[in-house]
Amino acid sequence: MTPKVYVNGKLFDKPDAKISVYDHGLLYGDGVFEGIRIYEGRIFRLKEHVDRLFESARAIKLEIPLSHAQMMEAIQATVSANNKRNGYIRPIITRGAGYLGLDPRKTSDPQIIIIVDDISLYPPEFYENGLEIATVSTIRNHPAAVSPRIKSLNYLNNILAKIEGVISGCQESLMLNHLGEIAECSGDNIFLVRDGVLKTPPVEAGILEGITRGAVLELARAAKMSVQEMTLTRHDVYIADECFLTGTAAEIIPVVKCDARVIGTGKPGPITRQLREAFRQLTMAN
């Protein structure tokens, strides 16, 4: 079935879903977006994603011409129109069409787009055997330049990191922050396990506050694991017993090598497996 795309309150077949080439979302990456999963007909953590969408918009002084409740409804209606039981939702808000020139006051209406499509996942063997990642030289955006907490349409920082990772033959790229601390990967948050303690960089490290990261922290605390949101360095990665990444698309994926060094036993570890199972159950119970 051709995907039906929501554009400003109407549904269009994918080839007919269009916006202006003068849109500042295209011209300058001026806009925000989300990535959300549908599991067996249930939208995972929709409220949290819409909260983050509105926070990202607020941070760039972009007023979304729908209320929070209307946005949730529009997303649900687009999922229903596409009859998707398992898939991916991509809401996008652009600054709107304007003149050439940066000034957002020169734009007209923000464009609201909701795409519902299939999800492209890592192949199953990466979940069984683990990923290899590499630290890249592109640092995460300095939080005082563009806050990594904003899920904006300008993803060049992450794309440059991704390119470096691809060149070095790795599935994900580990990004440091301006202080040389671990931040996150190009499209995923990172967790380590050391002596039974689950560790992940704090939001202040300059990261996107991942919804999956939040769910994993909740699951770990509910399972009475010891959890620390703390500054981490590459040293911590190299001496970790386990490492995994979290993200809407990746869910929880084990990492067994970083910078050509084997992490732990070189196989996905028991805490990673336990959290993966708990996360699977959560997506079904959502």
Pick the closer one to ligand PMP by CB: 119 or 230. Answer: 119
Name the H helices within the chain. Answer: 24-28, 46-59, 68-82, 124-129, 156-167, 211-222, 234-238, 270-285
Which residues contribute to the site for ligand PMP (CB under 6 A)? 35, 158, 184, 187-189, 208, 210-213, 246-248
**248 DSSP β-pair partners:** none
Residue pair 111/25 in contact (Cβ under 8 Å)? The answer is yes
Closest separation between CB of residue 209 and ligand PMP, Å? 8
> CA 41 to CA 95: how far, in whole Å?
31
Say whether 151 is catalytic: yes
Sign of CA dihedral 148, 153, 154, 159: positive
Three-class SS state of 79: helix
> CA 11 to CA 207: how far, in whole Å?
34
Closest separation between CB of residue 198 and ligand PMP, Å? 16
Per-residue tokens: 214: 């939040």
Closest separation between CB of residue 261 and ligand PMP, Å? 23
Pick the closer one to ligand PMP by CB: 22 or 279. Answer: 279
Per-residue tokens: 226: 């010891």
Separation of CA 111 from chain center = 21
Closest separation between CB of residue 188 and ligand PMP, Å? 5
Pick the closer one to ligand PMP by CB: 11 or 230. Answer: 230
Closest separation between CB of residue 26 and ligand PMP, Å? 19
Q: Catalytic: which of 4, 14, 18, 151? A: 151
Pick the closer one to ligand PMP by CB: 97 or 134. Answer: 134
Pick the closer one to ligand PMP by CB: 111 or 186. Answer: 186
Per-residue tokens: 97: 């069409």
**98 DSSP β-pair partners:** 107
Active-site positions read 151
